Chain A
């Protein structure tokens, strides 16, 4: 008798313990504003230009907004995403979100996203820290979709995390706009509601062929040296067959492990093959060390192109080792995209011009925008355009509108593939190649060297 009641007593304690522990997580405090962005309304410059996206339709439909339609209260539009506030993606994710926040400010200033019938949507954001981990991304996007009932989703930063996010968003049939994710693989899998803003990885290095031809037609031998990692491989799988088809000889084709920190012996091996050009790299730390050691070992190659690190302003701290290194980038502040460029390309222009964007960004964050920031702003911008075009926030209609998008923005051209297999893949945005060069004062500056019609400086031979 006694034994049973004791056992019962203990089991009850245990059960309560487990049940209380298993109770649904306390609803996470709504994180509507990124912790670091401190909105300073008094500092915003050029209010009118930055605030109003220049949409031609608005001008013509103004008369149809009948004065008799009662001003409707703005409806909320919830945009969900995860931010990498800790972990390896912390810094880039932060910049992407800063760009997004700037868009949010601009939309709020303009009074919201307006439909033809007078409905106004005021976008709100909800995000969580994904710790730069794919599992967290999946759990958190499920929460965003099911608990927070986000209307639209944006991707985290990085191809790896975005892969995880796409799996969840597609399974739940939510629309997601990705930035910071260039890997081809997920966008070749027949997604239905995912739209990619970044130029796909396979296109990153295609321009180097033009550069090499221009620099020195005698360049024949290329060494491909790159990180053994998913995004890097998507880039190399694009350039290698292309270079071969253009008649270049691949003298070295070697991968290095992501954990590799020293490239000295690797460089010895490469030098032995006497390449004219070295193309490859990986992420920031390894590409930077690689560039540094190429210089230290006095490797003579006419062109050196590395991934991810060269567009970073801190790359210049390498000094002479950074000189003449080429890198692919999605966008640079020096580029000009405005109504005039659009007219020349025979495309409509939408949103602020590149100069307006850059100035507003600098004013708010006291630093130059990077391509991560541009991607973040573009995420919001393209969603806004799609909602306006669809004249509704209904996901199916927005998807149809996104499929039709073909426009120029401060970020460049945006157009998505509508083919079933590659649906949503970015097809309009051109990759840009930049190079570090010395200006008249001997200071290292970034120049856009390709495409030739958008260049800010001529590509230089590496000495």
Chain B
């Protein structure tokens, strides 16, 4: 009996973890390439949640078919955001870029509130499920994992096999040297920012297929992304995926594992454990599990 619960929870946590990983990948990529922590990460995830909603309500398009729109929108948003808010202060101390992206956060949330109000929203999707015994796997989760995996693989192929991808890695490694090699760092930085926000938006779209949301849902996911990127290593996309999976499993298993004396950890303590892990990693292994790319 308990064993089945553990397996069911592990599967739940694992599937969610992939989506979390995707969500954090964008943040870590941006940091790795230009040392900027994007505080606009939360509202961008929310934009990703609302895009399929709008598409399905206004045009009747199935949320999954709306994913290409999300991808394009994500890219464009990132590039625009880079040129508007980040480019001018890219070489300034961290605080400046933090506040610049925070300003964008405020603008985005304000705009989204005007457009959609803070009404709770949900996508209605019926995708069936697989079931064995008490273990149920939802169709929506399977699709979410598949999309996350495809996106990760695509990101890797992009970074390692294409010229632009290699340019991004070059700029991340040493911007001055890359410029000397003839790489237009401005466009590469903009592109990286765009890819980062695109991944965030895509994860938002997937999260919307799983849970309900409001325009204010972003901040919770943003803080979770911070935890994941630190866990995996700032700047390391593989680390972000691994960190996401670990956090997903942690959230699902921590309260379910049977313990002597107390029976099990109360579910309301899960966030406490997450933050303690976060702080411990920062103190004892700040480069993260897979090592940061500095």
Contact = CB atoms under 8 A, between A and B. Distances in A.
Contacts of B8: 264-265, 268
A285 B212 contact: yes
A143 interface: no
A214 interface: no
A117 to B, nearest CB: 46
Q: Which of A88, A256, A285, A298 has the most CB of B within 10 A?
A: A285
A259 B220 contact: yes
B61 to A, nearest CB: 17
Contact of B9 (A260, A265, A314): A265
A257 B8 CA distance: 21
A234 interface: no
Nearest to B16: A262
A284 interface: yes
Contacts of A268: 5, 8-9, 12, 134, 256
A264 to B, nearest CB: 4
Interface stretch (B67-75, B119-127, B195-203): B119-127
A412 B162 CA distance: 69
Contacts of A427: none
Given A87-B118, A284-B120, A288-B122, A264 B9 contact: yes
B270 interface: yes
Interface string A252-267: 0011110111101110
A63 interface: no
Nearest to A86: B113
Interface in A177-216: none
Contact of B120 (A256, A266, A288): A288
A266 B267 CA distance: 7
Contact of A257 (B134, B256, B268): B268
A259 B136 contact: no
Contacts of A264: 8-9, 12, 16, 252
A41 interface: no
A350 B16 CA distance: 54
Nearest to B117: A90
Given A265-B251, A266-B267, A285 B2 contact: no
Contact of A91 (B2, B119, B253): B119
B164 interface: no
Given A90-B117, A296-B138, A269 B256 contact: yes
A317 B122 contact: yes
B16 A255 contact: no
Interface residues of B, number: 41
B120 A269 contact: no
Contact of A265 (B117, B138, B216, B252): B252
Contacts of A261: 207, 211, 217, 220
Nearest to A284: B120
Given A255-B268, A257-B268, A265 B214 contact: no
Nearest to B12: A264
Given A264-B12, A265-B13, A265-B256, A285 B120 contact: yes
Interface in A263-279: 264-266, 268-269, 271-272
Contacts of A89: 118
B206 to A, nearest CB: 13
Given A262-B211, A296-B129, A269 B264 contact: yes
Nearest to B252: A265
Interface string B255-274: 11000000010111011000
B212 to A, nearest CB: 5
A269 B270 contact: no
A49 B232 CA distance: 68
B1 interface: yes
Contacts of A318: 122, 124
Contacts of A292: 122, 212
B270 A257 contact: yes
A173 B146 CA distance: 61
Q: Which of B131, B220, B253 has the most CB of A within 10 A?
A: B220
A317 B123 CA distance: 9
B50 interface: no
Interface string A78-102: 0000000011111100000000000
Interface string A205-230: 00000000000000000000000100
A254 B12 CA distance: 19
A228 B255 CA distance: 15
B213 A285 contact: yes
B22 to A, nearest CB: 15
A278 B252 CA distance: 20
A265 B265 CA distance: 13
B271 A259 contact: yes
Interface string A284-316: 110011001000111000000000000000100
A319 interface: yes
A228 B268 CA distance: 7
Contacts of B12: 262, 264-265, 268
Contacts of B268: 228, 254-257
A91 B113 CA distance: 11
Contact of B255 (A90, A269, A297): A269
Contacts of A284: 120, 212
B118 A298 contact: no
Contacts of A91: 117-119
Contacts of B131: 298
Given A254-B267, A259-B220, A264-B252, A289 B211 contact: yes
Interface in A41-85: none
A225 B124 CA distance: 24
A262 B251 contact: yes
A285 B255 contact: no
Contacts of B220: 259, 261
Given A259-B220, A272-B1, A266 B211 contact: no
Contact of B212 (A254, A259, A266, A289): A289
Given A91-B119, A288-B122, A256 B267 contact: yes
Contacts of B138: 296
Contacts of B13: 265
Interface string B12-28: 11001000000000000
10 contacts: A86-B118, A87-B216, A257-B267, A265-B255, A269-B5, A285-B212, A285-B213, A288-B212, A314-B122, A319-B124
Given A86-B118, A262-B252, A269-B256, 6 more contacts: A86-B113, A257-B267, A268-B8, A285-B120, A292-B212, A297-B136
Closest 4 CB pairs of A and B: A265-B252, A264-B12, A265-B9, A255-B268
